[in-house]
A = this chain, B = another copy of it.
Amino acid sequence: MTIYKEDVLTTTQCRVCPIRESTLFKDVLKHKLNGVQKHRTRQISFSARSTVFREYEVHDSVYTLFSGWGIVFKTVNNNGKRQILRFILPGDFIGFQSNSDGVMTHSVSVITPAVFCEFSRENLKHMLKKDAGLAVRLVEMETRDMSLCQSHLMAAGRKTARESISFLLLELFHRVRIHVPVSYDSSTNSIGFPITQEDIGDAVGLTKIHVNRVIKELIRDKLIKLHKKQLTILNEKKLSEIAEFRLDGITGQSLV
């Protein structure tokens, strides 16, 4: 983990960052950014597969991802197994918790090289208390993440391997397509897809071996193509049926 930039961001720097529609500070950018930036805000870059913070650690920053992919996960101490709770894409917000001791309930690390913008959680909490609009935006993002988490719970608990994996692929495909358009190639209907089959397994609750068997099936059935870190959706209709996937909850519609 290397500090990319220690000093405070300027408004200009933030404007050029690829912050997507549903990002926490969307409205803030217009008129309150100076307030946000006053307190220990900086960019940090991480090398591939490195750790941002760990479960059980005290950590008092929150982050917005600028570029790269990351994961939020927990580990079973008994057996060391990992469960990925969600994938983080550019524009996503992480690290917020409402407990007062600052002990994290999950770990975050990155898959690819990644750049985050860091904020103080305490400062964010102060701002939330004063700015209802900001708080509402946070609620929105939380409910979207909650909806996704619930879909994953349903997949892990009640769906077959084929269904769960199809769901995850479609979810990531559409999140990238909508929120990270630079990584989406509309001519081939494909996205950059930097995660391993082991990551997929840890997200849906399967072993990498079984993930591989199922993915080969999906490829054999001409539903997807997966090659050189590129994921192509060949038959979205059929895949969506298998996964029982629907776009609501991915789009992140606004409350306002």
Interface residues of A (CB under 8 A from B): 74, 76-79, 81-83, 85, 96-101, 103, 105-106, 125, 128-133, 135-136, 138-140, 142-147, 149-154, 156-159, 163, 202, 204-205, 244, 248-249, 253-256
Task: Show 20 A/B contacts (Cβ-Cβ < 8 Å), sorted by A.
Answer: A74-B154, A78-B163, A79-B158, A98-B139, A98-B255, A99-B253, A100-B253, A101-B253, A103-B248, A105-B249, A128-B135, A132-B135, A135-B138, A142-B146, A146-B149, A156-B156, A156-B157, A157-B202, A157-B205, A158-B205
Contacts of A100 in B (CB 8 A): 253-255
Specify how many copies of this chain sit in the oligomer: 2
Q: Given the complex, which residues of B lie within 8 Å of A106, measured CB to CB? A: 150
The 6 closest A-B pairs by CB, nearest first: A157-B205, A135-B135, A156-B156, A132-B132, A83-B154, A98-B140
Q: Least Cβ distance of A131 to chain B in Å?
A: 6
Bound-complex Cα distance A139 to B151 (A): 20
Given the complex of chains A and B, what is the CA–CA distance between A163 and B81 in angstroms? Answer: 13
Distance from A148 Cβ to chain B, minimum over Cβ atoms (Å): 10
Chain B residues within an 8 Å CB radius of A143: 96-98, 142
Considering the chains assembled together, what is the distance between the CA atoms of A136 and B159 in angstroms? 35
In the complex, chain B residues whose CB is within 8 Å of the CB of A129? 132-133, 136, 256
Q: A146 touches which one: B146, B158, B163 (CB < 8 A)?
A: B146
- Whether A128 touches B138, Cβ cut-off 8 Å, given contacts A153-B156, A156-B205, is no
Asked if B144 and A146 make an inter-chain contact with CB atoms under 8 angstroms apart, the answer reads: no
Q: Tell me the smallest distance from the CB of A127 to a CB of chain B, in Å.
A: 9
Chain B proximity of A43: nearest CB distance (Å): 25
- Give Cα distance in the complex from A121 to B139, angstroms: 14
CB pair B159–A76 under 8 Å, yes or no, is: yes
Which residues on B sit within 8 Å (CB–CB) of A253?
A: 98-101
Contact of A125 among B96, B99, B125, B255 (CB under 8 A): B255
Q: Least Cβ distance of A81 to chain B in Å?
A: 4
The closest CB in chain B to the CB of A85 belongs to: B150
Q: Roughly how many angstroms separate A133 CA and B128 CA in the complex, as a whole number?
A: 8
With A130-B132, A157-B83 known as contacts, the answer to whether A76 contacts B244 (CB < 8 A) is: yes
The answer on a CB contact under 8 Å between B205 and A85 is no
Other-chain residue from B76, B96, B125, B150 in contact with A154 (beta carbon distance below 8 A) = B76
Select from chain B the residue with minimum beta-carbon distance to A150.
B85
CB distance from A219 to the nearest CB of B (A): 22
Please, how many angstroms separate the alpha-carbon atoms of A152 and B149 in the complex?
10
